[in-house]
Structure 1
Amino acid sequence: MATTGGRPDDSSTGHSNEVETLQREYEWLLKFEVNDIVEQLQGVIAECSKRFPLSIPGHHQTDARSDKFVMQNTIATSADQIKVVATLTGDSISHADITLRLPKHAQPSQRTIVQNDAQWKLQQIQDAGNHLMQAMNLLNPNRVGGKFEFISGQEVRNLMAAVMGCLGRGRACLVVPKKRTIEDIMQGRNMVPPLPNDVAVSFYVQSYKLVFAVYHVQKDSHGQQKFDVLQAECSVPWLSEALVLFTVALQLCQQLKDKVEVFNQFNDFVVPEKL
């Protein structure tokens, strides 16, 4: 006698089990693993922030570190054209002794000093620190227990995108100096004695280096403005450390985004209110 009906659909049962397993993994990710990675991220950003003169709520503000550098002329600048001994304190050149030799200038030998009472502000360092602080604030919401309570992957992706935006802008402040016109540079005359009106100098950061640039403004045979550029530079160890930490933090953010994206193909599970 023939029987009616058939065997249960094993494929549908298997698919249901797979979805349930993925759902549990997703819940675990959002409730526990995300917070573990966020904690790691907080640690990296906190470590990076120690390199900057930041005032962090709840933390004792230590004095800005001070380092003296003898800057080295670049390949395009001969050894005796620029001599600079600069002291970098936090986000400012607190002191610098500058000697220039400009053969094409009416006054070929010049010496000037940046003094402690008229420090040279390095806006790049201040801006990078501010972006770092913004990233830190995003990861330190006022919550009981200090934990995030995510219910969807989109929330995680949004948070990581915001944090990566802050970190990316902070890193870019150090790596890519803002372009300035020669007129803007010539306005920065906080040195004693002042340099001649046709000589401008600038301190700026480029990646892990402190750069000192000299611009000798001249007129060509047609009366058009031109200028000779001389440079000296030095490596700043703490800037190098900060850039590495910026990169590590960005990588952690991307890894967390990637983990969440794995579940995105399943229409973004939603974690129940009570797990």
Structure 2
Amino acid sequence: MRVHTFLTECLFLAKCVHAVLKQLQDILKEASRRFSMPSPGLCEGQLKQENFILGSSTMDQVKGVLTLQGEALTQADINIKVAKSSQVMHFAFRDDKQWKLQQIQDARNHVNQALQLLSSRDESYTFKTGAEVNKLMDAVMLQLSRARNRLTTPASMTLPELAASGLVKMFTPPMPGDVMVNFYINLSKLCLTVYQLHVLQPNTTKNFKSAGSSVLHNPGAMFEYNNTKFEVSHVHKVECVVPWLNDTLVFFTISLQLCQQLKDKISVFSSFWNYRPF
């Protein structure tokens, strides 16, 4: 009787495992496709260009239009109202420049690594133990968690790192030394942060304390760059939702739930699977 139960449970679990793996592959292929959506009527390698309007309110100090193509910002057109003079400054990406969003690139790479793990165990493969299935699920879940974290957790940067980044060389006309910008992804949103600075005079720097690393620095943050001390006077953040990034986060959540559900089933049946009746 126990042998019969063992064989029945093993057969059920083996079929269940491959059914879940197939479902995971289908979901993650759809997620991967979102990262490289071709433009209608164009070749597969030609990615769709999407325009996003930032700061549509008339009261906004910062307005802009960003063009996203896959993982790269290919165009940016930004208007910044200077706090003191109310003068509007206009900047755009140089024609020969585009800015890669490393978060999107990394998330896509983690999704593809998860797909490679799943494809290494096709329907002809026979799992020997429940522990082997758990090991595969843990590896897939690690990649999916890393993919999700890249989109939900923007990188912290110091203000000197931001001042030295390649972004300052992207624009025409060149941005003045008292303005800095940063682009990043937060969940399903494309974000633009603008920092307006003022130079600290030597006789006012006795209480100078350099700010640490952060995703978003507040007014009053101080830093030193090229032997000059600055203080952030104004911070403006504008953002917009990228629908396909929202889709991918949903796919990650569903996939992680499927992995955990399979692990839960394995734990229930592991005593049968690991039993050796002969």
Shorter-chain TM-score above 0.5: yes
Displacement, 1:116?
4.6
The yes-or-no answer on 1:123 pairing with 2:102 is yes
Does 2:112 align with 1:133? yes
1:81 to 1:235, Cα distance in 2 relative to 1, 3 A: same
Q: Distance in 2 between matches of 1:181 and 1:92?
A: 23
CA deviation profile, 1:225-275 (whole Å, cap 9, x unmatched) = 2312111111111111111011111111111111101123x27525899xx
Q: Quick one: which amino acid aligns to residue 262 of structure 1?
A: V
Deviations 1:74-116 (A, max 9, x none): 9xxx8231110111110011111101012137x9431110245
- The code of the aligned residue for 1:255 comes to Q
Alpha-carbon RMSD across the aligned residues, in angstroms, is 2.5
| Matched positions, count | 244
Q: Closer, same or farther in 2 for the Cα pair 1:70/1:244, shift >3 Å?
A: same
Tell me the equivalent position of 2:158.
181
CA gap 1:116/1:160 in 2 versus in 1, 3 angstroms? farther
Deviations 1:12-60 (A, max 9, x none): xxxxx3x435412431134321011100000000010001139xxxxx9
CA contact 1:68–1:88 (8 Å) conserved in 2 = yes
SS of residue in 2 equivalent to 1:263: helix
Spell out the pairing of 1:47-58 with structure 2 (5 A cutoff): 47-53=30-36
Q: 1:258 aligns with which of 258, 261, 264?
A: 264
Runs of 4+ aligned structure 1 residues displaced above 6 Å come to none
Give yes or no for the alignment of 1:236 onto 2:250: no
The offset of 1:217, in angstroms, is 2.5
Structure 2, unaligned runs of 5 or more = 38-42, 209-221, 223-230
- 2:129 paired residue number: 152
Gap change, CA 1:256 and 1:173, over 3 Å in 2: same
Distance in 2 separating the partners of 1:242 and 1:174: 10
CA contact (8 A) 2:152 2:187 kept: yes
Write the letter of the residue equivalent to 2:182.
Answer: S
Distance 1:262 1:146, change over 3 A: closer
CA distance in structure 2 between the aligned counterparts of 1:272 and 1:123, rounded to whole angstroms: 52
Residue 205 of structure 1 is matched in structure 2 by 185
- Structure 2 CA distance, aligned partners of 1:244 and 1:84? 28
User: Match of 2:55, SS?
Assistant: strand
Whole-angstrom CA distance in 1 between matches of 2:275 and 2:264: 17
2-structure distance, mates of 1:20, 1:272: 6
- SS of 2:182's partner is strand
Conserved? CA contact 2:9–2:273, under 8 Å: no
Contact 1:35 1:147 in 2 (8 A): no
Task: Check conservation: 2:10, 2:272, Cα contact below 8 A.
Answer: no
- Unmatched segments (≥5 aa) in structure 1: 1-16, 55-59
Q: CA distance change for structure 1 residues 110 and 22 in 2, over 3 Å: closer, same or farther?
A: farther
Higher gyration radius (CA): 1
Q: Give TM-score scaled by structure 1 length.
A: 0.81
Structure-2 residue corresponding to 1:269: 274
Give the 3 Å change call, closer, same or farther, for CA 25–61 of structure 1 in structure 2.
Answer: farther
Task: Check 1:32–1:272 CA distance in 2 against 1; reply closer, same or farther (3 A cut).
Answer: farther
Contact 2:47–2:69 (8 Å) recurs in 1: yes
> SS at the partner of 2:9?
helix
Deviations 1:100-144 (A, max 9, x none): 012137x94311102452001100000000000110110111x7x
Instruction: State the Cα distance separating 1:182 from its structure 2 match.
Output: 1.2
CA distance 1:272–1:175, change in 2 (3 Å): farther
**8 Å CA contact 1:97, 1:113 repeated in 2:** yes
Change in 2 beyond 3 A, CA 1:27/1:83? same
2:175 equivalent in structure 1: 195
